[in-house]
């Protein structure tokens, strides 16, 4: 349990990739603060399972990732009740699929706020605490769409490209502080975020569900397989190790070869 005594804060972690991050970190001994929406009973059970795995506390904070003041309060609560945060994973994200001429402005604003701006607010609040401790790991879930574009995803592609730029900048600012700052850029991971965009893509492109899965989603990944949440979480766990201390400012692809060409 190499993270015993450390605290991790994971945004967007009540399901999908975020929940896998939380499980992996708890399994390595970290106290964990999860964040996100969901049924109260399910969240309570998730926290109990994390605490049992780590032998350390696990808490949930319901901060809305569009509200800077709630994000700052969440980081402060994590520091006050659990310590740290020593590890931050920016994972909160939403998606909307539509041609740019029809893209709703409220959807654009929400995507930028949750996928990009929330990471800025988490980093802004966490970096001074990590500097004071002399150690920290900041990991953001980017995407293959941080490197390449797809039609009808202007908001998501813009946010993920911006997240990489933010990561590189903060990595340079913290390079001598014992802090590393990186992105993991998965290809398509089978989560509710991917599943929920299928109907919009069907409508936008005039395709069937199977055609979207096989001819749009998996067509980009030479392996023809979805990345799994546990694979992404294992990668993040490695970045928390001392052996990864020289990896910073990196955008690390995990996309089945999608962005190789």
* The pLDDT of residue 204: 83
Q: What is the CA radius of gyration of the chain?
A: 18
Residue 207 falls inside a structural domain:
no
Cis peptide before 85 (omega within 30 of 0): yes
For CA atoms 111, 112, 113, 117, the dihedral sign is: positive
Residue at 1 is within a domain: no
Is the residue at 65 inside a domain? yes
Distance of CA 190 to the CA centre of its chain: 14
The pLDDT value given to residue 159:
98
Quote the pLDDT of residue 190.
85
**Predicted confidence pLDDT, tens digits, the chain (261 residues):** 999 999 999 999 999 999 999 999 999 999 999 999 999 999 999 999 999 999 999 999 999 999 999 999 999 999 999 999 999 999 999 999 999 999 999 999 999 999 999 999 999 999 999 999 999 999 999 999 999 999 999 999 999 999 999 999 999 999 999 999 999 999 999 887 788 879 988 988 899 999 999 888 888 899 999 999 999 999 999 999 999 999 999 999 999 999 997
Q: Three-state secondary structure along 118-169? A: HHHHHHHHHHHHHHHHCCEEEEEECCHHHCCCCCCCHHHHHHHHHHHHHHHH
Are residues 112 and 158 in contact, defined by beta-carbon separation less than 8 angstroms?
A: yes
Residue 259 covered by a domain: no
Which residues are annotated as catalytic? 156
pLDDT computed for residue 215 by the predictor: 87
The whole-number pLDDT of residue 48 equals 98
* Element at 171 (helix H, strand E): helix 154-173
Q: Which residues neighbour 45 within 8 Å (Cβ) at sequence distance 6 or greater?
A: none
Estimate the share of the chain in helix, then strand, then coil, as percent rounded to the nearest 5.
50, 15, 35
Which CATH number do you get for residue 122? Answer: 3.40.50.720
Residue 205 lies in a domain: no
In a domain, 194, yes or no: no
- Considering the entire predicted model, what is its pTM? 0.94
Angstrom distance (rounded) from CA 229 to CA 214: 19
d(CA 247, CA 236): 12
Tell me if 198 is assigned to some domain: no
Whether 237 maps to a domain, the answer reads yes
The residue range of the domain holding 169 is: 7-187+228-253
Counted domains in the chain: 1
């Amino acid at each position: 349990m190499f993270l015993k005594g450390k605290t991790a804060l994971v945004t967007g972690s009540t399901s999908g990739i975020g929940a896998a991050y939380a499980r992996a970190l708890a399994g390595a001994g970290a106290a964990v603060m999860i964040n996100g929406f969901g049924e109260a009973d399910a969240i309570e059970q998730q926290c109990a399972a994390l605490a049992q795995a780590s032998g350390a506390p696990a808490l949930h904070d319901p901060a809305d990732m569009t509200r800077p003041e709630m994000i700052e309060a969440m980081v402060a609560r994590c520091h006050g009740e659990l310590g740290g945060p020593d590890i931050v994973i920016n994972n909160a994200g939403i998606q909307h699929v539509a041609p740019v001429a029809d893209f709703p402005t409220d959807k654009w604003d929400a995507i930028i706020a949750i996928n990009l701006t929330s990471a800025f607010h988490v980093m802004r609040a966490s970096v001074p605490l990590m500097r004071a401790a002399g150690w920290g790991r900041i990991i953001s879930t980017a995407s293959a769409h941080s490197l390449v574009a797809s039609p009808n995803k202007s908001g998501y592609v813009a946010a993920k490209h911006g997240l990489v730029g933010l990561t590189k900048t903060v990595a340079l600012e913290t390079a001598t502080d014992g802090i590393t700052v990186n992105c993991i850029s998965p290809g398509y991971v089978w989560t509710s975020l991917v599943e929920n965009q299928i109907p919009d893509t069907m409508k936008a492109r005039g395709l069937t569900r199977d055609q979207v899965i096989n001819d749009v989603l998996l067509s980009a990944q030479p392996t023809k397989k979805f990345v799994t949440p546990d694979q992404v979480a294992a990668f993040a766990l490695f970045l928390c190790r001392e052996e990864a201390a020289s990896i910073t400012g990196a955008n690390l692809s995990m996309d089945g070869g999608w962005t190789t060409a």
